Chains A and B, each alone.
Chain A
Amino acid sequence: MAKTIAEINEKIRKGKAVVVTAEEVIDIAKEKGVKRAAEEIDVVTTGTFSPMCGSGAFLNIGHSKPRIKLGGGKVYLNDIPVYTGMAAVDIFLGATALPDDDPRNKFYPGEFNYGGGHVIEELIAGKDIRLTAAAYGTDCYPRKKLETLINIKDINEAILFNIRNAYQNYNVAVNLSDKVIYTYMGVLKSNLGNANYCSAGQLSPLLNDPYYKTIGVGTKIFLGGGIGYVAWHGTQHNPTALRGDNGVPRRGAGTLAVIGDLKQMKMGWLVGTSMLGYGATLTVGIGVPIPILSEEILRYTLVTDADILAPVVDYSEAYPQMKPDILGEVSYAELKSGHIKVQGKDVPTASLSSYPKAVEIANILKKWIERGEFLLTEPVAPLPGIESGITFKPLKERPI
C-alpha cells in the first residue's frame, strides 16, 4: 500500500487528502486498526510552541544614500545589539540579545523584559523599529552614522533562521537545593517545589518521526504562522541518544534548523519571551506534516504521552555542573497529570511549552493541507540518524 509524496500531493491538489493531527490519529488507529488507518490517512500533522533560544533573523535593510558599511560596525535595533560581521547592509538579530544597558542579573533575578525575541515580535507586528548604527567609513561606503526607523515591509529581506529548534524530547527540571533558582526552565522552587517540562509530547514533530524517516532537509513546515522549511539538522542534534523499545528518545535527541520568510509570519506565533533570572528569548510555533508513506510511518505517529519518557534533572547542581545524574524518568502522561513522584515526594508539574497552541498549529496545518494550499515536499537530504554515529559532545577545554 506504500504511497509516495507525489501521490499524496496529487490528492492534496484535488482536495481529497485525508489529514489528521498527531493527537487524532491515536484514536483513529485504535478504532480502525493500524493497517486500515495507514491506507486511509495521507498526512499526520504535528505542532509545538515553546521558547527556543536558537532563533534569530537575518535582515537586509537596503543601502542608504550615501552608503554605509554596517559590516564590522555597531548596529542596534531598538537598543538591542545585532551581529554585523557580514556584507554591508546584512545584519543578524539574535533572539537572546539584550540591550547593552540591561542590568542583567546584577539585580537578581534579572527581569529581561526586552530582548532580540521581542524585536522579532514587533517586526512581525509591523511596528517601526529604531535602527542606530556606527561604522568606520570607507571610500566606497563613506557614511559613519545612521539613525532611522525601519519597517519589515520596506526592507529587502527579513529571514527567520533558527539554528536549533523543535527539540526531540527534553529534560524535566527540578531543584534539589534549599533556595529558589531561576533557569531557562522557569522558576524552580526549592526542595523539589515544582517540576517544569517543555515538550508537546505526543504532538511534538520529531517524537512522531523518531528515526527521521520523513522529516529531512527541505521539508516544508508551519513556521511562526507562515511557511518555512527544515534547513538542516539543528545544532546539538544527537540521534544516538538513549531510546526506548519504541524508538522514541528518552533524552533530548534530534533538533531542527528551520528557515522561512519572516515577512509572511504572523503575530502570536513568534512571541518575545522573558525568563526571570535567565534572559530573553523567542517562543516559536512550528508544525511539521508527516506523510503517511507506509504502515511503519503511521505506527510512529501513534506515540502517546504515556509512551514518551523524559529524564528528571536537578538544575541546582547536576545540570550546571554537567553531571550526568538523573533523578529518574517520567512519562508525559504523568507530567500532564499535574504531579510526579521524585525521590518519593509528590511534585507539582508545570509546562513551558503550550499544548493548546501546539494543538492549534497542528489544526491550522491540517486545514492548509485539506484546502490544497499546502503541498508536501520531498526532503533533498535526510537528517543524520543513528547510523551517522553523531553524538553530542561536551567542550574539551585545552590550555592556550
Chain B
Amino acid sequence: MNVSRRIVLHFPPNITGQPVVYRLVKDFGLTFNILKASVSPGQEGLLVMELSGEQKNYDKGIKYLTEAGVEIQSLSQDVVRDESQCTHCGACITICPTEAFSLEPKTRKVLFDHNKCVVCGLCVKACPPRAMILYF
C-alpha cells in the first residue's frame, strides 16, 4: 500500500546539512516533495515535505529519521488564531517559515493566511499573548 503524508522535520544543528533526506530516496525508495525548507549548516533547520512511498518503507524511513535525531511532526494538526487574543503586535511575522502572516499596510494589522500555514508550530509559543492555538 502506498502512503503520502505531509510532515514537518525539525533538524538539530549537529545533523543539519547531512544528506539525511536523500537517504530516504536511496535506502527506502521514498519520494518527496519539499514544500518549505530553511536549512543552513550549523543551524537548527526546518523542512516541510510531502513524503510518499510504500507504507512499510515509509515507516522505516520515519524510524531512520527519528533515530538520526530529527523531530517529526505530522500535518494532521491545525493551527488557528484566536482573534480575540491577538493584539496585532507582529512578533509572529518573522517567525513563520511560510510567510503565513503579513501586515495590512494601512492599518498595520497582522493578517493570518491559514492556507499558507504548514502547522510547524513555531508561532504558537512565540506569540506573546498565546493567540495561536495548535489543535490535534
Contact = CB atoms under 8 A, between A and B. Distances in A.
Interface of A: 49-51, 109, 111, 113, 178-180, 186-187, 189-191, 193-196, 271-276, 283, 336, 338, 348-357, 359
Given A178-B42, A276-B125, A356-B107, A348 B93 contact: yes
Nearest to B131: A271
Interface stretch (B22-30, B54-62, B67-75, B83-91): B83-91
A356 B43 contact: no
B50 interface: no
B5 interface: no
A375 B13 CA distance: 58
Given A271-B87, A351-B90, A357-B87, A179 B44 contact: yes
Contact of B125 (A111, A196, A283, A348): A111
A88 B21 CA distance: 64
Given A193-B94, A350-B93, A357 B88 contact: yes
B94 A283 contact: no
B128 interface: yes
B90 to A, nearest CB: 4
A354 B89 contact: yes
Interface in B65-111: 85, 87-95, 103, 107-109
Contact of B126 (A179, A276, A348, A353): A276
A338 B87 contact: no
B10 to A, nearest CB: 12
Nearest to B126: A187
B125 A273 contact: no
B91 A180 contact: no
A357 B91 CA distance: 14
Interface of B: 13, 40, 42-44, 85, 87-95, 103, 107-109, 125-126, 128-130
A113 B131 CA distance: 12
15 contacts: A190-B43, A271-B87, A274-B130, A283-B129, A336-B108, A349-B94, A350-B90, A350-B95, A352-B128, A353-B89, A354-B89, A354-B90, A355-B88, A355-B90, A356-B109
Contacts of B44: 179-180, 190
A124 to B, nearest CB: 14
Most chain A CB inside 10 Å of its own CB: which residue of B88, B89, B125 = B89
Given A180-B44, A271-B87, A356-B107, A350 B129 contact: no
B129 A273 contact: yes
B127 to A, nearest CB: 8
Contact of B129 (A187, A272, A336): A272
Nearest to B41: A178
B94 A189 contact: yes
B128 A194 contact: no
Contact of A354 (B40, B43, B87, B130): B87
B95 to A, nearest CB: 6
